[in-house]
A and B are shown apart, each in its own frame.
Chain A
Amino acid sequence: GAGVSQSPRYKVTKRGQDVALRCDPISGHVSLYWYRQALGQGPEFLTYFNYEAQQDKSGLPNDRFSAERPEGSISTLTIQRTEQRDSAMYRCASSAGTGGYEQYFGPGTRLTVT
């Protein structure tokens, strides 16, 4: 595609529900990254993949958060038993390779947990 796409753009859910956020990277991009961005702050790293392999998940806040990229393209970030503190903008980025390649960011999914 022309750029990184994410869906849904907005998600409102009730506390305790599970949510799945989708990222569709730029076609052919090897690496895919998930970040979380609070208002007024820079993106905070969550996890990233090279192809289908999850390389680093050190930024995931706790075990309610998980991510997968089973075929090395589309990725899903899942949050189980959502809590109000999970409310944030979740951003996905992709890059053509590793080791200093430009990361292209998607428009994000705004998650609100009520």
Chain B
Amino acid sequence: GESVGLHLPTLSVQEGDNSIINCAYSNSASDYFIWYKQESGKGPQFIIDIRSNMDKRQGQRVTVLLNKTVKHLSLQIAATQPGDSAVYFCAETYNTDKLIFGTGTRLQVFP
């Protein structure tokens, strides 16, 4: 399949550890943010979203934190598993459905 993220920043973690993936977004007026996971040869897959009126949102094993002061978004994955290995993208949008994707981060999980 197609390889995504040949030269992306890489985060390597051991299975069972927690992972934190960071993203700096560009538009201070952005009001909706999404994290996507992309496995090799596949399209991006929605993980979790957050609106600008929130600082934190939790899902199953994942938490998104939003710091509007410094335009920073993070994705925390608890008890990282081998199946979490992928490229992760943050995306932002402002009053529209046009998503602006950031630079991805490759997550590698070692047994």
Contact = CB atoms under 8 A, between A and B. Distances in A.
A62 interface: no
Count class of interface residues, chain A: 20 to 34
A42 to B, nearest CB: 3
Contacts of A40: 4-8, 104
A58 B98 CA distance: 10
Interface string B1-44: 01111111000000000000000000000001010100001111
A44 B89 CA distance: 12
Contact of A42 (B6, B32, B49, B104): B104
Given A42-B102, A43-B101, A105 B43 contact: yes
Given A104-B46, A105-B45, A108-B43, A45 B3 contact: no
B60 interface: no
Given A56-B98, A91-B43, A105-B45, A42 B2 contact: no
Contacts of B41: 107
Interface stretch (A12-20, A65-73, A75-83, A94-102): A94-102
B54 interface: no
17 contacts: A4-B43, A39-B6, A40-B7, A40-B104, A42-B91, A42-B104, A44-B101, A45-B100, A48-B97, A48-B98, A91-B43, A98-B97, A100-B51, A100-B93, A101-B97, A102-B46, A105-B45
